[in-house]
Amino acid sequence: MEIIEKITTNKLVENQTEIQKICLHKLQSSPLPNPKSELWRLSNKSKFSNLLDYSINEKDLKLDTPYPKNSQSTIRLIIGENYQIKLIEENYSIQQLSEDELDKFMKEQISFFDQNENWSDLLNLSISCKKNILGLKINGSKIPPIEIFSHSSTNSFNAKTLVIFLEKNCNIELLQVNLGKENSSLSQSTFFFLEENSSLKHGVVSYGESGSNLLNSLNIIQQKNSEYKLGSLHFKFNYARFEINIKQSEGSAKTKIKGMQITKKDEQIATYTKIDFNGPNGFLDQINKSLADDKSHAIFEGSIIVPKIAQKTDASQLSRNLLLSSLAQIDTKPQLEIIADDVKCKHGATISQLNEEELFYMRTRGITLAEASKLQLSSYFQEIISFIPVSKDRWDLLDKLLNEN
Amino acid sequence: MANENLVKDVVREKEPYKYGFVTDIETEKIAKGLNEDIVKLISKKKGEPNFLLNFRLKAFKKWQKMKEPNWAEIGYQKIDYQDIIYYSAPKQKEKLSSLDEVDPKLLETFDKLGIPLTEQKKLTNVAVDAVFDSVSIATTFREELAEHGVIFCSISEAVKNHPDLIEKYLGTVVPASDNYFAALNSAVFSDGSFVYIPKGVTCPMDLSSYFRINSGDSGQFERTLIIAEESSSVSYLEGCTAPMFDTNTLHAAVVELIALDDASIKYSTVQNWYAGNEKGVGGIFNFVTKRGKCLGKRSKISWSQVETGSAITWKYPSCLLLGEESVGEFYSVALTNNLQQADTGTKMIHIGPKTKSTIVSKGISAGNSINSYRGLVKMGTKAAGSRNYSQCDSMLIGDQASANTFPYIKSQQPNSEIEHEASTCRISEDQLFYLQSRGIEFEEAISMMVSGFCRDVFNQLPMEFAAEADKLLSLKLEGSVG
């Protein structure tokens, strides 16, 4: 594992920034996450070490995007390309965070980091150089949808970081696209800070190529009365981890998550979510879907933490899984940790295959088995895809998923 | 709100633990501590054959290399395994030919516990094996059972009288190296019950074991083995109590069940070990490994448990579903109050095709307690056509208690279905108000609601047990609910 060797010998990056120094120092004491911890127990060891076997590349190749051309009605940003962003319009403004603001925020975040839970963030921030950190401050309303791209380059390890402050009463739609190139590793860490009454419709689409790996982490802090909606889709990665960490810092916030991961061949994709209610009247509605085919392995682990202070929390979590092959494997572990007594919390999990009765019904009406399966899958996918903002009108994700099935 | 104040009152049990008395009886104890010689001494005292001594020694060696597990949501002071007496037995004549020879003090003890053993008083239609500290005192209805070919005796007697069965089955469901506490039990187990139901026999009465810890400084390590041959069936009940001591007592039991073709075993437990006082002083550390193996086709193992006692409960009755169309069931009510901690649940391992399992778990947490459900449902590659349904409900009483749910679900078989649902709630004020407005007192209303919450599980218990469990729950919650 080239990267780990470099961490221990302190040769990972030259001209380290202060943030890089702090994170590297934390990593040096224990460079790898504990393989016995719940968050890493099921991680495929050889795939994980393969992820860390690429050399760091700060010089990106120009993004050759397979996605639709930029339209005038959206703002498109690519992390790693030097920007000087200062968009001040009548109703809104989008500005870059100053170095001081960024440093202060990151240092505070890092002070709460746990070696296992935030290992991906520690690695990301150790590697991510100034150029690859995009920090934005957004306020106002009627903001055009924003698309933000991160991508890796073939045969290299790339780390990108995104930090966004949504100021009070701000309301945006934002789509993040993580593009994994052939034989590469991408580390994407995202930090959102939602101030009071702000609302974010967030989409994450991660799409790999053969032999691409992804460490994608998402850290959200929600202040009172903020609303966060996430639609996410991960597919075509040799190895991918999607870690979501949401904290309703004072409660009274709304969170809705609809995520999906699709694994084929011998891929392993895992989603870990941790939702922490740190105040009363919080709301969560979460659904996570997995589909595992061939010899692949899909993992979901979601924890909901409701401490004593979080009275009147209403949280529900559902994990729905489709297992399509006898060599594939699905692990799911929804969990509740509750101390407050006046709460409504529930979770559910199912693992099954395509519904045979429905398939039979369609076949008796002249639809071939292949088409009938596609129809069933499309309804399975549609619930999640329709929740991903920005993309749904312009990009045909459903087609992409079905045609590769 | 009026109820709120009562909620605060909670957490104190009005009626103290009524089984907390100590029987003053002369006992034979060995020295504290655990080493190879102690293991040999226990085996020698019981006059065991060589295969069993080897089993114990092997287990002891494995135990020495193992580490105490720390993954459960429980915290307790480190146990000093060298500060425990591993064998303690009331002094009595070697062999008892009839109940008349049992020390009357012992009979009196069990009488006080509601388990009369004497001929005149014994419970009708329930055969009882009474275990006092490390040994079995008496087993009732033996002759009647023997007429049907049913063997029901202490495991020490079974070692002497049926060594072939013991050698064949002991450790086949829970191997000595299974986990830290199972290894410890395998090395030092003192007594327990043995049940053998021959082919085609439906056991004519319920069998029951009653475990009583009396001594404060000795641990209890009993081992139960139940074998149901083809087309046989049995219902087995287990109850437990212990005196109130300020120190913690270790209880590490192992239960192994084996069901062959078309056999069915129903294993019910009402666990009421001393839970410690309201400050969390004293109480039993209950680390138990219970597992059933559905070896035969269409075999069925059903666990039902009501866990109300113990300072710490660490217990996961499981089913290995090997036989085609075999069925595993787990019905549980776990109640924690004051500073009790319970980490309990089940494992349903589907190995054979068309196997089915049902899990219904109800957790009630009051006071400052922690109550966690931890379960595993696994579909192996050959478990085509298998199904699982799990339901875990938690009820929180007061705002200091904690309820956790950790279900692990793993599937490697596309042609199988797993469903899991969990919910957390508290006693609704509307329901309380409704009952109170109809003249039902506050505590009675609570007790009715708790028993309604647990009904799915109580329905699965044998009748006498269900009534006892219901009573036990309201007793445990008395004055402690809001």
Where do the structural domains in chain A lie, given as residue ranges?
Answer: 2-249, 355-405
Sign of CA dihedral A354, A330, A149, A57: negative
Which candidate from B412, B420, B425 shows the least CB-CB separation from A329? B412
pTM assigned to the model: 0.84
DSSP letter at B282 equals S
pLDDT over threshold 90, residue B230? yes
pLDDT cut 70: percent of chain B above it: 88
B-chain residue closest to A355, CA distance: B415
pLDDT over threshold 80, residue B137? no
Q: How many CB atoms lie within 10 A of CB B213?
A: 25
Confidence of residue B123 (pLDDT cuts 50, 70, 90): low
Distances (CA, A) of A316 to A34, A349, B298: 29, 11, 37
Using the Cβ of B421 and the Cβ atoms of chain A, whether some distance falls under 8 Å is answered with yes
Query: How close is the nearest chain A Cα to the Cα of B337, in Å?
Result: 14
- Beta-strand relationship, B248-251 and B283-294: parallel
Query: What's the pLDDT score for residue B12?
Result: 41
Query: What's the pLDDT score for residue B87?
Result: 85
CB distance A252 to A289 below 8 Å: no
Query: How close is the nearest chain B Cα to the Cα of A215, in Å?
Result: 23
Contact residues, chain B, for A353 at CB < 8 Å:
414-415
Mean pLDDT of B129-141: 73
Place of tokens 């290992």: A119
Query: What's the pLDDT score for residue B482?
Result: 42
pLDDT over threshold 70, residue B375? yes
B-chain residue closest to A292, CA distance: B414
Confidence of residue B472 (pLDDT cuts 50, 70, 90): confident
Which candidate from B405, B412, B417 shows the least CB-CB separation from A335? B405
Evaluate whether residue B436 is within a structural domain. no
Query: What's the pLDDT score for residue B10?
Result: 38
The full DSSP string for B371-409 is: EEEEEEEEE-TT-TTEEEEEEEEEEE-SSS-EEEEEEEE
Kindly provide the ipTM of the predicted complex, given to two decimals. 0.78
pLDDT over threshold 50, residue B1? no
- What CA–CA distance (Å, rounded) separates A250 from A192? 16
CB-CB under 8 Å, B413 with A331 = no
Query: How close is the nearest chain A Cα to the Cα of B428, in Å?
Result: 9
pLDDT over threshold 50, residue B311? yes
Evaluate whether residue B269 is within a structural domain. yes
Q: Which of A231, A277, A290 is nearest to A251 (CA)?
A: A277
Which candidate from B379, B397, B422 shows the least CB-CB separation from A336? B422
A-chain residue closest to B402, CA distance: A339
Contact partners, residue B193, CB within 8 Å, separation at least 6: B129, B131, B136, B152, B153, B154, B155, B207, B209, B222, B224, B225, B226
More confident residue, B47 or B4: B47
- What CA–CA distance (Å, rounded) separates A89 from B420? 50
Helix (H, G, I), strand (E, B) or coil at A17: coil
Q: How many CB atoms lie within 10 A of CB B170?
A: 24
pLDDT, tens digit, 9 for 90 and up, residues B246-300? 778 888 999 999 999 999 999 998 888 888 888 878 888 999 999 999 999 999 9
Confidence of residue B15 (pLDDT cuts 50, 70, 90): low
- What CA–CA distance (Å, rounded) separates B96 from B98? 6
Contact residues, chain B, for A339 at CB < 8 Å:
399-403
Q: Where are the beta strands (DSSP E) in A104-263?
A: 133-140, 146-151, 157-166, 171-179, 184-194, 199-207, 212-222, 227-235, 239-248, 254-263
Q: What is the CA radius of gyration of chain B?
A: 22
Which candidate from B396, B421, B422 shows the least CB-CB separation from A341? B396
In the chain, the amino acid numbered A37 is: S
CB distance A202 to A164 below 8 Å: no
Phi-psi region of B133 (alpha: psi -120 to 50; beta: other; left: phi over 0): left
Q: Which two tokens stand for residue B95?
A: 């062999």
First-to-final CA distance of chain A = 33
pLDDT over threshold 60, residue B4? no
Distances (CA, A) of B165 to B153, B169, B198, B330: 13, 6, 12, 27
Contact residues, chain A, for B410 at CB < 8 Å:
329-332
Contact residues, chain B, for A304 at CB < 8 Å:
none
Q: Which two tokens stand for residue A147?
A: 């698309």
Query: How close is the nearest chain A Cα to the Cα of B240, in Å?
Result: 29
Query: How close is the nearest chain A Cα to the Cα of B351, in Å?
Result: 14
Chain A residues 285-314 within an 8 A CB cutoff of chain B? 308, 311
- What CA–CA distance (Å, rounded) separates B10 from B123? 36
CB distance A22 to A109 below 8 Å: no
Confidence of residue B401 (pLDDT cuts 50, 70, 90): confident
Q: Which two tokens stand for residue B312?
A: 């710490």
B-chain residue closest to A305, CA distance: B404
Chain A residues 317-376 within an 8 A CB cutoff of chain B? 319, 321, 323-353
Which candidate from B404, B409, B418 shows the least CB-CB separation from A338? B404
Q: Virtual CA dihedral for B121, B123, B125, B128, nearest 10 degrees? A: -110
Evaluate whether residue B274 is within a structural domain. yes
- What CA–CA distance (Å, rounded) separates B66 from A158? 42
- What CA–CA distance (Å, rounded) separates A396 from B87? 72
- Quick one: which H or E segment has residue B135? strand B135-139
Which candidate from A324, A329, A346 shows the least CB-CB separation from B423? A346
CB pairs under 8 A between A and B: 115
- What CA–CA distance (Å, rounded) separates B389 from B191? 36
CB distance B333 to B466 below 8 Å: no
- What CA–CA distance (Å, rounded) separates B179 from B78? 17
More confident residue, A83 or B455: B455
In the chain, the amino acid numbered B405 is: T
Contact residues, chain A, for B396 at CB < 8 Å:
338, 340-341, 343
Contact residues, chain B, for A338 at CB < 8 Å:
394, 396, 402-404, 424
A-chain residue closest to B414, CA distance: A323
Q: Which two tokens stand for residue A128?
A: 């991510």
CB-CB under 8 Å, A351 with B394 = no
CB-CB under 8 Å, A339 with B399 = yes
Query: What's the pLDDT score for residue B202?
Result: 93
Contact partners, residue A310, CB within 8 Å, separation at least 6: A251, A277, A278, A279, A280, A282, A340, A343
- What CA–CA distance (Å, rounded) separates A372 from A358? 8
Query: How close is the nearest chain B Cα to the Cα of A192, in Å?
Result: 29
Which candidate from B404, B409, B426 shows the least CB-CB separation from A332? B409
Which candidate from B409, B414, B424 shows the least CB-CB separation from A345? B424
Query: How close is the nearest chain A Cα to the Cα of B264, in Å?
Result: 28
Which candidate from B399, B406, B414 shows the least CB-CB separation from A323? B414
A-chain residue closest to B364, CA distance: A341
Query: How close is the nearest chain A Cα to the Cα of B252, in Å?
Result: 26
Query: What's the pLDDT score for residue B104?
Result: 74
B-chain residue closest to A332, CA distance: B409
CB-CB under 8 Å, B421 with A336 = no
Contact residues, chain B, for A270 at CB < 8 Å:
none
The full DSSP string for A221-281 is: EE-TT-EEEEEEEEES-SEEEEEEEEEETTS--EEEEEEEEEE-TT-EEEEEEEEEE-SSS
CB distance B409 to A332 below 8 Å: yes
Please classify residue A344 by burial: count the beta carbons closer than 10 Å to its beta carbon, then call 0-12 exposed, 13-18 middle and 19+ buried: middle
Query: What's the pLDDT score for residue B125?
Result: 66
Contact residues, chain B, for A351 at CB < 8 Å:
379, 409, 411, 416-418
Contact residues, chain B, for A333 at CB < 8 Å:
406-409
Beta partners for residue A272, in sequence order: A243, A301
- What CA–CA distance (Å, rounded) separates A129 from A82? 12
Q: What is the mean pLDDT of chain B?
A: 84
Query: What's the pLDDT score for residue B3?
Result: 43
Full residue range of the structural domain in which residue B29 is found: 25-426
CB-CB under 8 Å, B404 with A350 = no
Segments of chain A scoring below 70 in pLDDT: 58-72, 82, 391-395, 404-405
pLDDT over threshold 80, residue B59? yes
Contact residues, chain B, for A335 at CB < 8 Å:
404-407
Query: What's the pLDDT score for residue B6?
Result: 40
Place of tokens 């699965």: B460
Total domains, chain B: 1
Residue in A309, A336, A346 to test binding to B, most B beta-carbons within 10 Å: A336
Max CA separation in chain A (angstroms): 68
Confidence of residue B32 (pLDDT cuts 50, 70, 90): confident
Evaluate whether residue B71 is within a structural domain. yes
| CA B7 and chain centroid, separation | 30
- Quick one: which H or E segment has residue B5? helix B2-9
Helix (H, G, I), strand (E, B) or coil at A316: strand
A-chain residue closest to B424, CA distance: A345
